[in-house]
Amino acid sequence: MEFDPTRPKWTQIADVIRKRIASGEYPVNHLLSETRIEQEFGVARVTVRKVTRALREEGLIVTTHGMGSFVTAQPPKP
């Protein structure tokens, strides 16, 4: 992925993951692996943690200690 130098990397990655969730590419209960995100986007773990924190605050994922972060059930779109 080519990053836009005018925006933080974590916001760009979060945008990609939001689109994947919205399209169904990442269905409900899909595990978001921090390691895979790190490798796919070539970023540090701290960047991935910013992504998961933002998605968690938006209610798109839920994180369970010792298990990981999972896509949550999304409300139907009007």
DSSP 3-state percent helix, strand, coil across the chain (nearest 5): 45, 15, 40
37: left (phi over 0), alpha (psi -120 to 50) or beta: alpha
Which pLDDT belongs to residue 1?
86
Q: Are 74 and 21 in contact (CB under 8 A)?
A: yes
Stretches in the chain below the pLDDT threshold 70: 75-78
Which pLDDT belongs to residue 75?
60
DSSP classification of residue 77:
P
Structural domains in the chain, CATH included, are 9-71 (1.10.10.10)
| Maximum alpha-carbon separation in the chain | 37
Which pLDDT belongs to residue 77?
57
Place of tokens 């949550």: 72
Which pLDDT belongs to residue 43?
98
pTM above 0.95, yes or no: no
